[in-house]
Chains A and B, each alone.
Chain A
Amino acid sequence: ETGVTQTPRHLVMGMTNKKSLKCEQHLGHNAMYWYKQSAKKPLELMFVYNFKEQTENNSVPSRFSPECPNSSHLFLHLHTLQPEDSALYLCASRPTENTEAFFGQGTRLTVV
């Protein structure tokens, strides 16, 4: 266990559904991240939050909407996704820059 917990572990959703992924850490880390892992792009950075503020949006489509209500929780809200969005979504956190990032176990998302 790394101390970063993601729920749900698996999610199947239709293209018209709305769902949310949750990430939680109680490590006292100040930075949290969403990565997308697929066969084409193994670890693609999506969003970065520092001290609850979004500091990076890596040209992610608006059908993905992140939310960071406090320094321990990070959400990824999903709506009107496409089948090509099927992937493993990994959350990570770390204390500050130039330190180890701790990953959650990921949410395996399938869009049908």
Chain B
Amino acid sequence: GENVEQHPSTLSVQEGDSAVIKCTYSDSASNYFPWYKQELGKRPQLIIDIRSNVGEKKDQRIAVTLNKTAKHFSLHITETQPEDSAVYFCAAEPGGGATNKLIFGTGTLLAIQP
């Protein structure tokens, strides 16, 4: 089955700097890759997603890149702000049939230092 690995597990950056979180997946048929943000005590919420027919997607300070050949995708946050502090999860949706499920990575705790 699909396996998603996420690195790093913790990341501390200075306010205003950029943060990058990387994920790899094992199922080459996977075709949908969302990123979720979970603030302390709150539910995970989607911040950006990318599908396998696109290599990059950007939404203001957030961007995601996908390398299908290498089976990895990354989240990029520029000009980080204190409110970006949270746990970030990547996920992959296995392909090859009506599985309709999301497999999540182990999460990255991002801390923005003022």
Contacts and interface: CB of A to CB of B under 8 A. Distances in A.
A25 interface: no
Contact of A56 (B46, B89, B99, B104): B99
B87 A42 contact: yes
Interface stretch (B10-18, B19-27, B37-45, B70-78): B37-45
A97 B44 contact: no
Contacts of B101: 33, 45, 48, 55-56
Nearest to A108: B41
B60 interface: no
A2 B38 CA distance: 14
Contacts of B93: 97-98
B98 A103 contact: no
A43 B6 CA distance: 12
Query: Which range contains the number of B residues in contact with the other chain?
Result: 20 to 34
B92 to A, nearest CB: 11
A101 B106 contact: no
Interface string B85-114: 001010101000011111110110000000
Contacts of B107: 42-43
A40 B35 CA distance: 20
Interface in A43-67: 43-45, 48, 50, 55-56
Contacts of B65: none
Contacts of B103: 45
A69 B93 CA distance: 26
Interface of B: 31-32, 34, 42-46, 49, 51, 87, 89, 91, 93, 98-104, 106-107
